[in-house]
Amino acid sequence: MDGRVGLVVAPRGRLRYVLRVTVEGDRGAAYEVVADPARLRGLELAVPDVPVAA
Size of the chain, expressed as the number of residues it contains: 54
pLDDT along the chain (54 residues), means of 10: 79 93 89 94 85 79
Identify the pLDDT of residue 3. 72
Identify the pLDDT of residue 1. 53
pTM of the model: 0.69
Tell me the domain boundaries of the chain. Answer: 6-42
Identify the pLDDT of residue 33. 95
> For residue 8, what are the contacts with CB-CB under 8 A and spacing of at least 6?
15, 18, 19, 45
- Which SS3 state, helix, strand or coil, does residue 37 take? helix
